[in-house]
Amino acid sequence: MDIATILGIVSAFGLVGIAIVSQGDFTVFFSFSSLLIVVGGTFGATLINYPMGDIIRVLRVVKKAFFNRETDLMGVIPDMVRYARLARKEGLLGLDKVIHEIDDPFYYEGMRMIVDGTRPEVLSQVLKNEIDSLAARHRVGISIFKAMGQYSPAFGMIGTLIGLIFMLRSLNNAAQIASAMSLALITTFYGAILSNILFLPIAGKLKEISTAEIIKKEMLLAGIMSIQAGEMPGMVEQRMISFLATDYRRLYLQQKTET
């Protein structure tokens, strides 16, 4: 579970709620009509904008924002170096006896193609296509949440206009004016809250997760191509380390020295 996501949502809604309660009655901020306008309008516009298949897939993708484990970029390097040593010692066919250890389908497929004698240009193209396909799928999920982040404030404003229209038609009735003004303001409030606490932050989290996954696969691709080219284990390691941020490089080298 991604504690940061859960903590962020709980703290954001919680602190806003506490601030409201500290000023008076919380129930005045609940309006079923406003909720229908903002939530219904946002999801309706999203369904219009995207195919149903993309909407269904994004429901599976969104789980990553709440249950994703941090991508371990450093953890794949030692195994790749070990495979490079084995390939230098026993040849590429020697990898056949160890690839069953690999759980990652992308990683496994690349090592399997090495063992099968796939030409370097074909191997590189196949794996790059997989990376591009993954990035495209992730972009759709991210764009859906960004779109919802744009639609919700817009429908908040639509609710505001609806409330103002009712208010202008009820100028001779003070109670109806207050009710219409409440609808106008609360819909804007709902739109801003949903956009800035849920939709846009989730889009940002999915983008970060996608970036980390793509970097990992590019690291694996670099290592796989290096092994196939028969490069020394040290060079394989260096190629993969080059993908790490400076802090992670230092941490990896420190851990390597300690072991």
Contact 236, 227 (CB under 8 A): yes
CA-CA distance, 98 to 140, in Å (whole number)? Answer: 36
The residues, ordered by sequence, that sit 6+ positions from 205 with a Cβ below 8 Å of its Cβ are 2, 5, 65
Specify whether the CB–CB gap between 221 and 130 falls below 8 A. Answer: no
Distance CA 254, CA 69 (A): 23
Number of neighbours of residue 209 by Cβ within 10 angstroms? 21
In this predicted model, what pLDDT tens digit does every residue of 102-151 receive, in sequence order? Answer: 889 999 999 999 999 999 999 999 999 999 999 998 899 899 999 999 99
Q: Is residue 66's pLDDT more than 80? A: no
CA-CA distance, 14 to 174, in Å (whole number)?
Answer: 33
Question: How far is Cα 127 from Cα 253, in angstroms, rounded to an integer?
Answer: 28
What pTM was computed for the model? 0.83
Pair of tokens at residue 95: 């990898």
Q: With cut-offs at 50, 70 and 90, classify the pLDDT of residue 162.
A: confident
Residue 232: what pLDDT?
Answer: 92
Q: How far is the CA of 236 from the CAs of 192, 222, 231, 248, in angstroms?
A: 49, 8, 7, 17
Mean predicted confidence (pLDDT) in 232-245: 90
83 exposure class (CB count in 10 Å sphere: 0-12, 13-18, 19+): buried
